[in-house]
Structure 1
Amino acid sequence: MPNSRFSRTLLAVALTGATALTQAPAAFALSGMAQTKPVGAQGIQPAETAPSVKGTENQHSQATPPAAEQPAATPEAEGETEQAIKAEIIHDFSKLPEPVRKLREAIVEAAASGDVERMRPIMDPGAKKTDGPDQNEDPIETLKSFSGDTEGLEILAIMLDLMQTGVARIEAGTPDEVYVWPYFVGKPLNELTPPEKVDLLRIVTAGDLAAMDEAGGYNFYRIGISPDGKWKFIVSGD
């Protein structure tokens, strides 16, 4: 019997030692994970903000670094967040500053006339106001180059459609503040309501809209007016 008790004691010690050895690597692995800090600057989300994978929350809860060790949000990331919320969408034109409202009305009247030359006094030649192959060329010739016809009628029709939608007030209160038509430039396309999608489809085709969804935003023609009622630009593309 003494030998039997001694044998059981040796067996218990041996099992305890084996259990400790098998648990040691797991404990070391968790410790190593806890010392690894997420690298937010390289596009890897910090542990407390990264989306969890279903069924793995409990596995990683012990490995999450303390809040004090989490890297601060980078200025670039904060800037991207701010840009996403800076646009104010305005549909009631009576709420626009009077100079902006008056220039909009002048653009609508000129575009509806069918005479592209009526855009000349509006566009303030001599400054970098329109995009095109040559920024120094005549602004009316630039407008005509955007048009599918030689008289510039198509671009006038596009401008008329743009100015009849709502407007996005961008960078409000800063030196870069500008009122941009159409308002889709200031709102994610996946947040558009059905009536807003109808507004957009008055300007572009369904195929264009699908391409914009893939590109990540509205990228057709935009017209910009400064808060003091000066023509800023007409541009297209990203």
Structure 2
Amino acid sequence: MPIRSLPETFKGPGLTITAVMLAWAGLTGSAPDALALSDTPSGQALVGQNGEGSMERTPLPDPSAADPSGGWPGGEAMRHDPDGPVPEVLYDFDLLPEPVARMRRLIIEACRSGDLERLRPLIGEGPNATQLTLGPLEGNPIDFLRESSGDEDGQEILAILLEVMEAGFVHLNPGTERELYVWPYFFAVPLEELTASQRVELFKLVTAGDYEEMKSFGAYIFYRAAITPEGRWVYFVAGD
């Protein structure tokens, strides 16, 4: 599995993690440059494979699962409260509520298809659309994802999303209106406390150099994704 780094655009002399943060937050006035692979070697209907090898259609999430208040969390795809308790790292996807498991499955199927357009019905539109940037997003969300990818067809960003959704996860704010299931768990776990095996998992997403930079910054700031208990895909963002 290739290891992906933070955008190479932000790795020149004198550029800091703060520059990464501002750029990904949309504060530089332009969309983020395409993500580069590390130099380290290392229609609307989605389909799934059944056990006999034939194809079966997987239904899209029920639109009624969307938050009627619109737009939660309103741009707050920030890191978990560093002063709060560290949540348990989970790997058992059977623990996910059915709507969450369903949306995760649809995202993974879309990523594995290699077709960026298959994310469109999952992202949705309007105030309940999946948040893709910490700053304002104007225009087509699929075009935004394609432009954020290191290749012209968007397969790199699909690979990153796939790695995110296959990682361990955390369950945040259970029993509250802000309850979320978030991938990968690095979003909510102090980076300096990662075990050796957890660092191996992290290096599937970022380089060792990125890890040291993020430790200095104080948070994991690469891509993460969240789904509500009702199965709404809230965000897929990078930055802080």
TM (normalized to structure 1)? 0.62
The answer to whether the aligner puts 1:230 opposite 2:232 as a matched pair is yes
Identify which of 138, 143, 146 aligns with 1:144: 146
**Offset at 1:174?**
1.4
Deviations 1:196-231 (A, max 9, x none): 110000010111111111111211001111111111
**Which residue of 2 is the match for residue 212 of structure 1?**
214
Which one has a bigger Cα radius of gyration? 1
User: What secondary structure sits across from 1:89 in the alignment?
Assistant: coil
Find out whether 1:131 has 2:119 as its counterpart: no
Distance in 2 separating the partners of 1:148 and 1:121: 23
Give me the whole-angstrom Cα distance separating, in 1, the residues matched to 2:188 and 2:156: 25
- The one-letter code matched in structure 2 to 1:130 is Q
**Structure 1 position 190, deviation (Å):** 1.4
Equivalent residue of 1:84, what SS? Answer: coil
Listed as ranges, the gaps of 5+ residues in structure 1 are: 1-79
The equivalent residue for 1:184 is 186
Amino acid at match of 2:111: A
Name which structure has the greater RCO, CA cutoff 8 Å, separation 6+: 2
Query: Which one-letter code corresponds to 2:117 in the other structure?
Result: E
In structure 1, the partner of 2:159 is 157
Equivalent positions of 1:1-238 (< 5 A) are 83-85=83-85, 87-127=87-127, 128-132=129-133, 134-238=136-240
Query: Identity percentage over the alignment?
Result: 44
Measured against aligned partners, the alpha-carbon deviations of 1:159-203 in whole angstroms (never above 9, x if no partner) come to 011111111111222111111110111111111111111000001
SS in 2 for 1:219: coil
In the TM superposition, what whole-angstrom CA distance separates every residue of 1:136-172 from its partner, at most 9, and x where no partner exists?
4222112112211221111001001111111111122
C-alpha distance after superposition, 1:63-100 (max 9, x if no partner): xxxxxxxxxxxxxxxxx67x521634221000111111
- Check conservation: 2:110, 2:116, Cα contact below 8 A: yes
Paired letter, 1:110: A
Asked if the contact 1:130–1:142 (Cα under 8 Å) also holds between the matched residues in 2, the reply is no
Paired with 1:171 and 1:141, the residues of 2 have a C-alpha distance of 33
The letter for the 2-side match of 1:220 is F
CA-based RMSD: 1.7
Q: Which has the higher helix share?
A: 1
Q: Partners in 1 of 2:157 and 2:122 — Cα distance?
A: 15
CA distance in 2, matches of 1:146, 1:224: 19
1:85 alignment partner, SS class: coil
Q: Is the 8 A contact 1:102 1:229 kept in 2?
A: yes
Asked whether the equivalents of residues 179 and 226 of structure 1 are also in contact (C-alpha less than 8 Å), the reply is yes
Contact persistence 2:132–2:141 (CA under 8 A) = no
> How many equivalent pairs are there?
158
Match for residue 54 of structure 2? Answer: none
Structure 2: runs of 5+ lacking an equivalent = 1-80
CA–CA distance in structure 2, aligned partners of residues 217 and 104 of structure 1: 24
